[in-house]
Structure 1
């Protein structure tokens, strides 16, 4: 039966049975012959929630006026340090002005841009006159946590996007309005996320906390029932968060010190598609049998850890990155618990280069289990 299955597969691949007898690794050679170029590294954010430029009109310089015409005069309530284009009466551009303070914000404003200045504080009440704000961009300044008013954002009940990345924050700001959908706190010096730091943010869909000094997040993420993207990469985490949001689709934990993943950890997030845990301290002793057995997962990155065996994965997984580990054996049971014509893995990309494994270690039944693979690097 096994010989018949392999014969059928060889026919599909336009290979003869004689070729199989001459070279037991013909299938691997066939895959390599189909690769016209080396695999291009994955995109940082493969799903629709890519970090967007915080400008509603698409250009940092602000909206342009019609060529050949003079711009109309700015409204009188616009601060002299900023630009308030009449064509876009709800936007105020104060970016790249060497500002050291936040100017007055007119009540009609919905989009304010203070990025790339020298602002060090966000004083209490600075936004009280403009409670209809939707976007506030404060990234690329020198803001410190002790100079942020405790209730400075709480009255902004319509705020959707808050950019505080690339500052000098050492703790989470708050309280924050429930309306918030995107929160950018990356590239700061935050060391922990208290359990109540994100309380009430039931509409938050994207949270960027990468490139901080976070050592612990506890159960702070559990209540974020709308969260789709969570980026905690480039921190000092030793453990994964205690529970993940139910709507989560993208989880980025690369470049931390994570050494263990609990059994069935991802099953509480049935929509999860992408998990990246590269450049951590994972070993097989820190993993359970079902640590990564989540049927929704499409991409799993475990590269550059300390794994010696291929961990079991779900048959629905399409991309698995294991390069740069210490893997010394190829276990087909990690992909298929049963190997026959009807049971096979949906894996398309498998990276095993940079390990302690040879091409000759690939089992003879690998073509049957991994029949959909288009790239295997060993």
Structure 2
């Protein structure tokens, strides 16, 4: 009975004690280690031996990771920043410095300022197609030391931007208002492989002498311009040259003398009436020739000597006859590769007037395209 009376005050004290309130996960650790928390702990009244007492656990502060902020409205992926079709009037700020591809197509950007691309030393490709860019600061591209692809097509540029990155491999700048290619425009660009500059009001006199010196281009297109003849100072390393949709009226003997590496030559949609004999002999590696939509009255001379020529487009001209030796070598002449495409439709020549032997060096009859002549 006496023991029960002594236990009664202890039970009352235990019942009146405040309930445990957990404020965080570490509250459990505090209780387990005998560390006093805000609400107290009963375990602290039973101290552990000093040799076995666990050390106090101090929570480590949460580390903060500073990730680059994606410009408003843009989509950020791994090293890719896509900001196209946003009606932007200027290059956005805070571009992540590790950006490798920057897409700013289809906006309303009017000017490239000096610091727009500052610090983007890892940028590999820059797309600025279909904006309203008319002005580029001379130092705008100085930070782009590894840039290889630059697309500036469909803008309002009146000149080629100064100080283009020396690392460029591909430049597309067609459909602008450029009338002149200065001598220093591409200086030092030893890696340049492709230039697309059609759709500009370029005339033959618009190329300064030496404008392409040092370039080892593989591909060039100057279509939809105002050329009256084949430019004579283009790189002699070209494998593809496209000059379609110009005002070229003739191909003279010296026009192609330096382009003996060309495999594909595009001269369609011009006003060519005359091709001087021997002109095509300077293209021994030619495989594809586009002369459609011109004013030719006969099959060009010299095709029979082109041993690798496989495709010839001659449709939409004024050719009225095809001789038996116009395409294939005469007698025991040798052609290494047979034709697999000859187009002659939309010409005033009747297929029944052409001798079958005229196409003896063609792979099969389906490779020859005739059609009704309509004017």
TM over 0.5: yes
Corresponding residue of 2:244: 254
Query: How is 1:38-77 mapped onto 2 (pairs within 5 angstroms)?
Result: 75-77=67-69
Query: How is 1:1-378 mapped onto 2 (pairs within 5 angstroms)?
Result: 75-85=67-77, 88=78, 90-104=79-93, 105-144=95-134, 147-216=135-204, 217-218=206-207, 219=209, 222-223=212-213, 225-263=215-253, 265-266=255-256, 268-284=258-274, 286-291=275-280, 293-311=282-300, 312-313=302-303, 314-340=306-332, 346-363=338-355, 365-370=357-362, 374-378=366-370
Q: Is the CA contact (8 Å cut-off) linking 2:261 and 2:283 kept in structure 1? A: no
TM-score (normalizing by structure 1): 0.71
What displacement does 1:363 show?
4.0
Q: Is the CA contact (8 Å cut-off) linking 1:344 and 1:369 kept in structure 2? A: no
For 2:350 and 2:337, how far apart are their aligned partners in 1?
21
Structure with greater Cα Rg: 2
What displacement does 1:342 show?
5.1
For 2:216 and 2:92, how far apart are their aligned partners in 1?
34
Deviation string 1:196-236 (CA, Å, 9 cap, x unpaired) is 32222221112111222222353566436432221111122
Change (3 A) 1:306 1:367: closer
SS at match of 1:84: strand
What displacement does 1:301 show?
0.8
For 2:366 and 2:281, how far apart are their aligned partners in 1?
22
For 2:247 and 2:66, how far apart are their aligned partners in 1?
52
Long gaps (5+) in structure 1: 1-72
Q: Is the CA contact (8 Å cut-off) linking 2:309 and 2:337 kept in structure 1? A: yes
What displacement does 1:241 show?
1.9
Q: RMSD over aligned Cα, in angstroms? A: 2.7
For 2:224 and 2:170, how far apart are their aligned partners in 1?
19
TM-score (normalizing by structure 2): 0.72
Q: Is the CA contact (8 Å cut-off) linking 2:237 and 2:259 kept in structure 1? A: yes
Higher relative contact order (CA 8 A, sep 6+): 1
For 1:265 and 1:122, how far apart are their aligned partners in 2?
38
What displacement does 1:251 show?
1.5
Change (3 A) 1:250 1:367: closer
